[in-house]
């Protein structure tokens, strides 16, 4: 019954916004609508105001990175209709250079969500009044949730006791345990890690040497 309701709603949205909606699907009892990025403001306005929708509450705006795709980002909007007790997911596609219209004029609560998507993925929202980083530092380089972003980052931040201030420096992997050379999970490593000398030797009955 829920899937039938969602399918009817998906057809309603798709028919009403035929020029803006690329399609919809119902999977795992959830409705996903695919829309054109340039029309996201009109789509959001319809979803909020149409009496068959009334999605007044914005739950989240985030992104998904598909680096092998021409338009590598999905920008994903989650909305809730308290009136009809139903949710909808709206997806649009964009790339690294194409900005996305901000929906902050329709949903003021999208403010920090859009800033977070910009900070972590690099998606720029045109029309946002304060498009600054939100979670990373002011001098941060890159966007850490992109799949091609290095796990170690580019710089490390630490407090210098001599300079009495926070300093930025290139990442240095000085820990020996970062040099993984496991041939088999049963064989272990060819080097000795600090602390291994405290372990009991094989054949000594478990007693420390």
- Higher-confidence position of 175 and 136: 136
Give dist(CA 48, CA 43) in Å, integer. 9
The DSSP line for 151-192 is TT-SEEEEEETTTTEEEEEE-----GGGS---S-TTT--SS-
Residue 173: pLDDT band by 50, 70, 90 thresholds?
low
Taking only the tens place, the pLDDT of each residue in 88-144 is: 999 999 999 999 999 999 999 999 999 999 999 999 999 999 999 999 887 788 899
Task: Compute the CA torsion angle 5, 9, 12, 14 (nearest 10 deg).
Answer: -130
3-state secondary structure of 84: coil
How many angstroms separate the Cα of 127 from the Cα of each of 101, 111, 123, 183? 6, 11, 13, 53
Pairing of strands 30-35, 86-94: parallel
For position 187, what pLDDT does the model report?
Answer: 58
Cβ atoms 124, 143 nearer than 8 A: no
Least confident among 35-39, 142-146, 197-201: 197-201
Q: Is residue 196 scored above 70 in pLDDT?
A: no
Least confident among 74-83, 150-159, 198-207: 198-207
Tokens, residue 31: 């409705």
End-to-end Cα separation, the chain, in angstroms: 69
Residue 156: pLDDT band by 50, 70, 90 thresholds?
confident
Give the chain's largest Cα–Cα span.
79
Q: Is residue 22 scored above 90 in pLDDT?
A: yes
How confident is the prediction for the chain on average, in pLDDT? 87
Q: What are phi and psi of 40, to 5 degrees?
A: -65, -30
Average pLDDT over residues 145-163: 84
State the alpha helices, DSSP H only, in 17-87.
40-49
Least confident among 19-28, 39-48, 107-116, 196-205: 196-205
Give dist(CA 42, CA 36) in Å, integer. 10
Residue 175: pLDDT band by 50, 70, 90 thresholds?
low
Q: How many other CB atoms are found less than 10 A from the CB of residue 84?
A: 14
Return the H-helix or E-strand segment holding 9.
helix 2-16
For position 209, what pLDDT does the model report?
Answer: 46
């Amino acid at each position: 019954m829920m899937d039938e309701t969602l399918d009817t709603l998906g057809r309603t949205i798709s028919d009403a916004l035929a020029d803006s909606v690329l399609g919809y699907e119902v999977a795992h009892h959830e409705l996903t609508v695919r829309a054109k990025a340039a029309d996201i403001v009109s789509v959001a306005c319809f979803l909020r105001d149409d009496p068959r929708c009334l999605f007044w509450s914005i739950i989240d705006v985030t992104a998904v990175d598909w680096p092998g795709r021409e338009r590598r980002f999905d920008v994903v909007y989650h909305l809730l209709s308290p009136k009809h007790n139903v949710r909808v997911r709206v997806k649009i596609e964009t790339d690294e250079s194409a900005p996305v219209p901000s929906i902050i004029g329709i949903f003021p609560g999208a403010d920090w969500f859009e800033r977070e998507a910009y900070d972590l993925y690099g998606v720029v929202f045109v029309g946002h009044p304060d498009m600054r980083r939100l979670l990373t530092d002011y001098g941060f380089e890159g966007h850490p949730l992109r799949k091609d972003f290095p796990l170690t980052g580019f710089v490390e931040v630490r407090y210098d006791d001599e300079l009495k201030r926070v300093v930025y420096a290139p990442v240095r992997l000085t820990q020996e345990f970062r040099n993984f050379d496991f041939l088999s999970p049963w064989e272990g490593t060819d080097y000795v890690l600090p602390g291994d000398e405290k372990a009991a030797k094989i054949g000594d009955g478990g007693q420390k040497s």
